[in-house]
Chain A
Amino acid sequence: MISEAPIRSPGSSPAPKIAVTGLRKSFGQKQVLDGVDIACHTGESLVIIGGSGTGKSVLIKCILGLMRPDSGSIGIDGVETVGLGRAARAPLMLKFGMLFQGSALFDSLSVWENVAFGLIQGRGMKRQEAREIALRKLAAVGLGPEIAALSPAELSGGMQKRVALARAIAAEPEILFFDEPTTGLDPIMADVINRLIVDCVRGLGATAISITHDMTSARKIGDRIAMLHAGHIVWQGPAAEIERTDNPFVDQFVHGRAEGPIQMEVRAA
């Protein structure tokens, strides 16, 4: 497989914040990840692009510990996380914040309780203190206190995404994950979310891994872009390089052509 602009070697720079090596994951006969190698350094925003069903979500769920890989290594701050038990993983989880594709807000809780959830349940903060932080985080994503008591079902898709972003950053995590942050949004709202993501990641000084197939979003929020195809990273490099690369996979994907090395599986009905 082709790989440009390789990641900095451990000898030339500090160890990566997140280092994935030889990661494999299959579901039955289908090999979704087939030896993925990728690294993300402290404060870097890495965007992983790729077609639907190429295993982007599986990759970040493996890093988060929501799925167990078949083999390979995942290091967070130099700590091997594959095979860690629930108790040993608990301190690591405090470093993470995640924005889910469908927002994944809790229906039974109000907006502010959603944002404050990790502070109250995960960190044992008092409700009043957590509420004040939640209101500040809502303000940071452009939402006023008037929506704090509403139920998530009363919000539009864009507002739900912003609440989910506020929830992801509420505990000021060191590492943020964004799963298809702009999917299902109109272009203007998508741009608003992209800007908020950039502001939040920079504001926190966090390390971020985003997955998307929206190239506008990838260019906007990524310092570096990697492309996942057929279970491998087929290209990675600085975001600005993506327009100039002659990698045929990237070229086909970026320009949205049906013809090229990426063959979409089309099954007859």
Chain B
Amino acid sequence: MIGFIGSIGAAFLAFLAAVGRLALFAGRALGAGFSPPYYPRLILRQIVDIGYYSLPVVGLTALFTGMVLALQSHTGFSRFNAEGAVATVVVLSVTRELGPVIAGLMVAGRVGASMAAEIGTMRVTEQIDALTTLSTDPLRYLVLPRLLAGFVTLPCLVLVADIVGVFGGFLVGTTKLNFNAVSYLTQTERYLETMDVVSGLVKAAVFGFIVALMGCYHGYHSRGGAEGVGQATTHAVVSASILILLFNYFLTQAFFA
């Protein structure tokens, strides 16, 4: 019994240590941003990598999510003769929840994995050590631009996802569910508040930071060649996905509870 409690305690301490290491890593990387040199070109490149190249995958998932949402909510609401709420449900669900969460998860899969693999490969091939010997702080050069780009870019992606998701609902609503286009759009706009969109964008900024942090942290600490890089990639995607869902709950509670 004591052994069992001891193992729980050890696991909890290990968890706290991991959280501490992660916080120190993020703190050191962000702290580097308060003094020169700065790398604006690297930040721009990361913004293009994260934002522009993620547009197709985020756009497609948002489109189909909006379409499915319209279909499902119509099926449910028709049981209570409440089909008129479909447009409202679609726009609120997409802007508040599905837009940021789905974009976050897609970016975690695409960008978080790529960051972990790139930085992990640099670690195991001593390129990160080489940066240090060339008087360049790896956290400032590799990590900070990615954290800033993730924080800034995901809200832009989510804004696109919101528009595309709502358009997906509109498409299904007007072509399959026989809604009038004007009344669908009126209904979409009527109950939508600024806070619905803003809360989604704030969530997106947090998720973007989480994705970049997990990709950089696991890549930076990868060990042991190709296998280590593979594990870093897996850990980056899994931990980012879990943290996105966890923080989504807390942020939703903070905004709307």
Contacts and interface: CB of A to CB of B under 8 A. Distances in A.
Interface string A81-104: 000001000100110111011101
A120 to B, nearest CB: 9
Nearest to A179: B126
B126 A97 contact: no
A96 B132 CA distance: 10
A117 B136 contact: yes
B189 interface: no
A122 B136 contact: yes
Contacts of B125: 102, 104
Contact of A118 (B37, B121, B134): B134
Nearest to A92: B135
A100 B129 CA distance: 9
Given A121-B37, A121-B141, A124-B37, A106 B136 contact: no
Contacts of B126: 100-102, 104
Contacts of B122: 106
Contact of B134 (A65, A101, A102, A117): A117
Given A104-B125, A104-B126, A97 B37 contact: no
Given A104-B125, A104-B126, A124-B37, A97 B133 contact: yes
Nearest to B134: A118
7 contacts: A61-B129, A64-B133, A66-B132, A66-B133, A93-B133, A104-B126, A124-B37
Shortest 3 CB-CB contacts between residues of A and residues of B:
A122-B135, A118-B134, A104-B130
Given A90-B135, A106-B127, A117-B134, 8 more contacts: A61-B129, A64-B129, A64-B133, A100-B130, A104-B126, A117-B136, A118-B134, A122-B135
Interface of A: 61, 64-66, 86, 90, 93-94, 96-98, 100-102, 104-107, 117-118, 121-124, 167, 177
